[in-house]
Amino acid sequence: MKKRSILPLALLMLPTAWAAEPAWFAWPALLPAADIPPAQVPRRRPGRPPPSPPETAGEINLGAITPAPVDAVGEFVPVPDRWRLMEALGFQFPWYDPYNQNVLKADKPIREDWFLNLLGISDTIIEPRSLPTPVGPQGSARPGAYDPFSQPRQLILAQTLIAGLVYYKGNTTFKPPEWEYRITLAGQFNRVQTRELRTTRIDPRRGRNRSDAHLGVQELFVDKHLRDVSARYDFDSIRIGIQPFSSDFRGFLFQDNQFGVRLFGNRDNNKWQYNLAWFRRVEKEINSGLNDVGAGLRDDDVFIANLYRQDWPVLGFFSQATIAHNRNREDEFLFDDNGFLARPASLGGERPRRYQVTYLGLNGDGHIGRLNLTTSAYYAHGRSRPGSFVPFPTRIRAGFLAAEASLDFSWIRLRGSLAYATGDRNAYDDKSTGFDAIFENPIFAGADTSYWIRQNVPLVAGGGVTLSGRNGMLNSLRSSKELGQSNFDNPGLRLLGVGGDFDLAPEHRLSFNLNHLWFDHTATLEALRQQAPIPRSIGFDASLAWIWRPFMTQNVVFRLSAAGLFPGRGFKALFPDERHYSVLANLVLSY
């Protein structure tokens, strides 16, 4: 007898078996068989009746979706939305866990398609430093101190807590939100300890140290999605309120959180991006640098239009053109909370002044082959009425250029930096040729690890101004970066630097920077100090930083850095022949 295959016979019997025992084959509608633990798959033995089907799918998989009825085999069972499918399959996570599905971190909507995202940041700073410090004119805290300069050592302690809330509508996986409401508050307590009177406050009776606290509104805006202009969600949106904005890739001209109206969007599958914006600047709290909405808005307007193009002129490079206009009409005297004159700066004629200046800029960021490259160039054109040193109007003609290139070698990145800001050649003519920004916050040449960029070096015996502001690179001779006006009668800057980043492990990064700095021209310094000649060399700025991320994320970041300024002939002509230092210990916790 020939052997016959039993496969055709089995196929003929399959519909009969299905009809006779429908529950045997009725798996839960949305659960594949692979999700059922093998130990729970029923096994039928010969001569025994089939087991009763489970009443709910929970007996098979705890928390699973209830199976379809017997008469609806193959039908789909609806779930509330796709974001809660994981919950329906039995996955539950505590509300305080930001690493898994969390309604407080906008992983799923709180109702319909409205999402909530909460932000919490703790930023702790301990910063010993040394700065050129004058002896208090009313009397020194050190008996017998007759020199112009006092002890330079200082200590800064600052604790900042940031809380933010974002409430928005729409699926942002492929397109921008339809509506977005955002508020971010920052509260800071800071303490400064010095060794000389009148360093922190103008009143010497208030001592050498200062403690202060402030609550600032850093973001408060509404964002409305106006329309989609393509099937790939190219769009136009408008944003109104206190909002962050950066005019270029590295924050050379204007990077701040200010009140304004911004129309923005993109075209051609995001290859083109644009911004049209107007900002009316908010007053700052002088000690924390946070917004002070209680003090109102400044009479200082910023108008910006820029256009971005991806992959131009080469693939992987991002190009941008910018036009910015700054109109300042603050012609009244303003003293800060510490009693020092903020506007106009105690500089030259110390006269109230107005200015209008237009910036034309070209910026780029990306890579050309293996070379990573960032470039920025600005030309400033306008008028100041009057000038800083003269009682008549001056014409503003100034320029700025910066470039940073780097190469990656596995876990090592080596880079070189170059910056040039024109200086004023003659303090008493009708031309102001020293370049100044609107509100700079440069991420460049070591950024705030660098001594020169991090510290506000005062021009002792040259007026109530600083050479460079805190977290600023330009020698603008302002009263402060936060409250002062732009000043185009300044000595300018030349910078040439090298640096490197070493990713020793996913948790550890080591960085170093070495910058050589010069004044472009020293005519304004010679006029202020009644001293000539003053050489151009500022000196060498060396810094070293270690960054530790114990969980290999940005939720816990600790940074320890040290920087030193080794003075050149120009710096020695202005200040005593001594080296200055800064140490920064910074812990950032984010939720």
Q: Which domain holds residue 68?
A: 22-88
Sign of torsion, CA 62 65 66 70? negative
Within-domain flag for 406: yes
Q: State whether residue 9 is helix, strand or coil.
A: helix
Give the per-residue pLDDT at 414: 98
Greatest alpha-carbon span in the chain: 125
Last residue of a domain, one of 35, 55, 88: 88
d(CA 235, CA 273): 10
Q: State whether residue 331 is helix, strand or coil.
A: coil
d(CA 34, CA 236): 46
Closest CA relative to residue 460, chosen from 183, 148, 123: 148
Within-domain flag for 486: yes
Q: Are 516 and 536 in contact (CB under 8 A)?
A: no
d(CA 529, CA 268): 56
d(CA 384, CA 394): 5
d(CA 412, CA 218): 36
| Helix-strand-coil split of the chain, %, nearest 5 | 10, 45, 45
Q: Read out DSSP for 430-454?
A: SEE-----SB-----TTGGGSHHHH
Closest CA relative to residue 228, chosen from 172, 173, 169, 176: 176
Binned average pLDDT, 10 residues per bin, the chain of 591 residues: 40 38 35 40 49 47 54 61 73 82 88 92 97 77 67 96 96 88 98 92 90 97 96 95 97 97 96 98 96 96 98 96 98 94 92 97 97 98 96 97 97 98 96 97 94 94 90 95 96 98 96 98 95 95 97 94 97 92 97 91
Give the per-residue pLDDT at 73: 57
Q: Say how many domains are in the chain.
A: 2
Last residue of a domain, one of 53, 88, 123: 88
Within-domain flag for 48: yes
Give the per-residue pLDDT at 337: 94
d(CA 119, CA 354): 40
d(CA 12, CA 441): 78
Sign of torsion, CA 483 487 493 497? positive
Within-domain flag for 125: no
Which tokens belong to 548?
């530790």
Q: State whether residue 310 is helix, strand or coil.
A: coil
Closest CA relative to residue 494, chosen from 568, 562, 427: 568
Amino acid making up residue 558: F
Q: Are 519 and 570 in contact (CB under 8 A)?
A: yes
Interacting residues of 552 by C-beta distance below 8 A, sequence separation 6+: 506, 507
Q: Are 454 and 466 in contact (CB under 8 A)?
A: no
Altogether, the residues listed in the chain come to a count of 591
Within-domain flag for 365: yes
- Per the rule left: phi > 0, alpha: psi between -120 and 50, beta: everything else, 106 is left
Closest CA relative to residue 474, chosen from 438, 446, 449, 500: 438
Give the per-residue pLDDT at 38: 43
Within-domain flag for 347: yes
Within-domain flag for 199: no
Q: Read out DSSP for 496-533?
A: EEEEEEEEEETTEEEEEEEEEEE-S--HHHHHHHT---
CATH number at residue 393: 2.40.160.100
Last residue of a domain, one of 43, 61, 88: 88
d(CA 57, CA 64): 6
Give the per-residue pLDDT at 251: 96
Which tokens belong to 153?
């050592």
Within-domain flag for 118: no
How does 515-526 read in b/e, with b if 16+ C-beta sit within 10 Å? Answer: bbbbbbbbbbbb
